[in-house]
């Protein structure tokens, strides 16, 4: 009897398990490094894997692993021996709460924490070599939300906004060393399986 109850519970849990993979393209606005360095918006690429752990009629709870990369934030200030650009990478696993998971339009909120990496360019704005480029590894806290519009049972479109808050970036010149907000807006194609 106990084995039968456990088997039925496992079958029910696996029927509610749902995975999705979101592939997104967007932009990121990163906070400036004081008055020393100001940055343009960066193109952002994102892949998010999510696993739905539990689902009720109106709410679903899952875990997600967003992997976000911006290969180039160009420096908008043009004076002095400034690095030409920097790149960023974020990996912030967390939890996702979805409202109306089976509706045509569902909304979600997410929060997570993990790792951020910033890499400074090996070239300066004036084209000369940056002799002391720096990389920064730091902690990151991510939160945001968005909406999914279902097209087919296995396909949806997503719009989302996230803020990845990290420790300070380390550059080859003196900056205030303040924590960084990275406001990311993106649109995604979501495949569900």
Q: What is the pTM of this model?
A: 0.87
What CATH number is associated with residue 65? 2.40.160.20
pLDDT for 9: 41
| Residue 2 domain-assigned (yes or no) | no
Residue 126 sits in which domain range?
18-192
**Tally of domains within the chain:** 1
- 3-state class of 130 per DSSP? coil
Instruction: Give 179's DSSP letter.
Output: -
pLDDT for 77: 78
Q: Is 140 exposed, middle or buried (0-12, 13-18, 19+ CB in 10 A)?
A: buried
| Residue 8 domain-assigned (yes or no) | no
Print pLDDT tens along the chain (193 aa). Answer: 444 434 434 444 444 459 999 999 999 999 999 888 899 999 999 999 999 999 999 999 999 999 999 999 999 877 668 899 999 999 999 999 999 999 999 999 999 999 999 999 999 988 899 999 999 999 999 999 999 999 999 999 999 999 999 999 999 888 898 999 999 999 999 999 9
| Residue 39 domain-assigned (yes or no) | yes
Distance (Å, rounded) from C-alpha 149 to C-alpha 39? Answer: 33
pLDDT for 36: 86
Distance (Å, rounded) from C-alpha 122 to C-alpha 129? Answer: 6
- β-bridge mates for residue 110, sequence order: 96, 144
The enclosing H or E element of 12 equals helix 2-16
- β-bridge mates for residue 108, sequence order: 98, 146
| Residue 97 domain-assigned (yes or no) | yes
């Amino acid at each position: 009897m106990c084995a039968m109850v456990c088997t039925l519970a496992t079958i029910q849990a696996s029927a509610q398990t749902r995975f999705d993979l979101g592939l997104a393209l967007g932009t990121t606005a990163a906070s400036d490094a004081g008055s020393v360095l100001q940055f343009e918006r960066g193109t952002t690429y994102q892949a998010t894997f999510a696993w739905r752990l539990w689902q009720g009629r109106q709410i679903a709870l899952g875990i997600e692993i967003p992997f976000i990369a911006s290969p180039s934030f160009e420096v908008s200030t043009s004076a002095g021996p400034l690095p030409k650009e920097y790149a960023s990478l974020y990996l912030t696993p967390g939890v996702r709460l979805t409202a109306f998971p089976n509706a045509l339009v569902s909304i979600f909120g997410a929060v997570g924490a993990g790792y951020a990496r910033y890499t400074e360019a090996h070239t300066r704005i004036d084209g000369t070599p940056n002799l002391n480029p720096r990389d920064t590894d730091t902690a990151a806290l991510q939160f945001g939300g968005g909406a999914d519009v279902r097209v087919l049972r296995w396909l949806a479109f997503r719009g989302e906004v996230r803020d990845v808050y990290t420790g300070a970036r380390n550059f080859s010149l003196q900056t205030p060393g303040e924590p960084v907000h990275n406001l990311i807006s993106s649109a995604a194609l979501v495949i569900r399986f």
